[in-house]
Amino acid sequence: MKFLKALACATAFAACAVSSLAHAAGYPERSITMIVPFSAGGPTDTVARLVAESMSKDLGQQIIIENVGGAGGTLGAGRVANADADGYTLLLHHIGMATSATLYRKLPYDTLNAFEYVGLVTDVPMTIVTRKDMEAKDLKGLIDYAKANKDKVTVANAGIGAASHLCGMLFMSAIQTPLVTVPYKGTGPAMTDLLGGQVDIMCDQTTNTTKQIQGGTIKAYAVTSPKRLDVMKDIPTAVEAGLPGFEVGIWHGIYAPKGTPAEATERLAKALKVALKDPNVVARFAELGTAPSPETDATPQALKAKLEGEIARWKPVIEGAGQYAD
């Protein structure tokens, strides 16, 4: 009798071990694709590659970045919205996910019903920058120059729905002067033209401008954060420099197609939490003027609430500016 009891316990233990191994050996079983909806070399790409590399270690599977630029990030977002909901296609996108819901009357997806949520990643400040030979000595001088040359001053952005488009729109509204906008598939390529002097002004994220500002290859006039940034302490905030209320942070989140199993999104959220505490990610973000989102925000619930709140927040601002994508 004792033998049978021992055999039963052993069998139960083995079955339990196998099932937990099977579970542990479950998702992910192969590499994952993370779509970045802007060109390689830009701020979104930089954030994605840093976080994906760290998440891969925890997941035990590679996360491969694929850049799908165009239409202010909506092409890449549409690709993910229509991908298989198996946990092997993800989207890393920013505030543009919220602003595009109002800017685009016809999107290839229904923003609040086409995605599952993994979590928030980081909230990146922006910088108002220009070609390095811009004559203005401060933001007030830059605004005066822009107003006096409004038919020739060019402002680069990454298309309607991009963070640079939002910041440029806020800037033109604040100075009550429309300027000539030049769209790119990302602010990576836009930076090339700014460095070359082919375009005059850009409002772009510190993840793309910090090293250039520190190197003196572009000029910075203001940061859009509530306080000055350690990586560029001599640059005033836009509020200090004369644009009351001009604060904008570019929050980023990771999404999956609607219907992706909770086992996958929860496993991804766990890997995201680990990545946001990775000393290398923390250090690289700090060098680029930003910081990981708090652990409490690296959850599906936090990202869902953020997206819903930001759609509601920016809708009246966008409608007031009257700028829409055709």
Stretch that binds ligand MLT, among 20-28, 137-145, 182-190, 284-292 (CB under 6 A): 182-190
Under the binding rule (CB under 6 A), the answer on residue 224 touching ligand MLT is no
- For residue 265, the one-letter residue type is T
Spatial separation of the C-alpha atoms in residues 291 and 125, rounded to whole Å: 10
Least distance (Å) between residue 106 CB and ligand MLT: 20
Q: Considering the complex, state which of residue 76 and residue 257 has its C-beta at the smaller distance from ligand MLT.
A: 76
Binding residue for ligand MLT (CB under 6 A) from 27, 38, 88, 314?
A: 38
In terms of Cα–Cα distance, which of 42, 109, 41, 53 is closest to 76?
A: 109
E strand spans, the chain:
32-36, 63-67, 89-94, 115-131, 154-157, 180-183, 201-205, 218-223, 249-257
In terms of Cα–Cα distance, which of 44, 63, 34 is closest to 207?
A: 44
Binding residue for ligand MLT (CB under 6 A) from 28, 32, 40, 42?
A: 42
Torsion (CA) 22, 28, 31, 33 in degrees, nearest 10: 160
Q: Which of residues 109-128 bind ligand MLT (CB under 6 A)?
A: none
Q: Which helix (H) or strand (E) segment is 295 a member of?
A: none
Q: Which of residues 125-164 bind ligand MLT (CB under 6 A)?
A: 158, 162-164
Q: How many residues bind ligand MLT (CB under 6 A)?
A: 15
- Tell me how crowded residue 66 is: count the other CB atoms within 10 A of its CB: 14
Under the binding rule (CB under 6 A), the answer on residue 98 touching ligand MLT is no
Least distance (Å) between residue 270 CB and ligand MLT: 26
Q: Considering the complex, state which of residue 96 and residue 125 has its C-beta at the smaller distance from ligand MLT.
A: 96
Binding residue for ligand MLT (CB under 6 A) from 96, 125, 292, 300?
A: 96
